[in-house]
């Protein structure tokens, strides 16, 4: 039923909770999990270190992806690690289309009311726009 599962991560505890579900589903269906971090280019991510320009958000993204991939819940699952730059909503949806993703697994932070409208919700936007099913994992407010 599922051959390719997309697990967008932002490095949060919620993303790690969603990872447990994604990897469990992957083991059940012998699927590959694509762990994706989108370095949000709407933020100023470039810093200078010596003479080299280092993209701090990409580095942060690789660290977030590595934490998921190196965790105990990932054991025994084929994994693709991906860090891209762009707007998270757009990049997640493009990745779904470009990589024949069958299922997206994401955390939702459980915000409601004004907080949800002010902060926006990447998960909510993906649920409304995704051409494939989205499995959401509700986590408590921080």
- Sketch out the chain's domains with CATH numbers: 4-61+70-138 (3.40.50.620)
User: What is the pTM for the complete model shown?
Assistant: 0.85
- 1 pLDDT above the threshold of 50: yes
pLDDT at 43: 59
86 to 41, 46, 83, 137: CA distances (angstroms): 5, 14, 10, 24
Q: Among 59-63, 94-98, 138-142, whose mean pLDDT is lowest?
A: 138-142
Using CA atoms of 31, 78, 83, 121 in order, give the dihedral in degrees to the nearest 10.
Answer: 40
pLDDT at 25: 97
Tokens 């921080």 — which residue? 142
pLDDT at 142: 43
pLDDT at 13: 86
pLDDT at 121: 84
pLDDT at 53: 40
Rounded CA separation 15/56 (Å): 20
**Average pLDDT score over residue span 91-117:** 82
- 46 pLDDT above the threshold of 80: no
């Amino acid at each position: 039923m599922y051959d390719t599962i997309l697990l967008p991560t932002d490095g949060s505890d919620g993303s790690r909770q969603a990872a447990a579900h994604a990897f469990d589903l992957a083991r059940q269906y012998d699927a590959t999990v694509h762990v994706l971090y989108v370095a949000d280019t709407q933020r100023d991510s470039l810093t200078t270190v010596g003479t080299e320009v280092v993209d701090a958000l990409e580095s942060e993204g690789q660290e977030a992806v590595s934490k998921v991939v190196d965790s105990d819940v990932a054991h025994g699952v084929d994994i693709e690690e991906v860090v891209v730059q762009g707007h998270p909503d757009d990049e997640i949806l493009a990745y779904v289309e470009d990589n024949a993703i069958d299922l997206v697994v994401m955390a939702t932070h459980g915000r409601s009311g004004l907080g949800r409208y002010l902060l926006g919700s990447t998960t909510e936007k993906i649920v409304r726009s995704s051409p494939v099913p989205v499995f959401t994992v509700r986590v408590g407010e921080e």
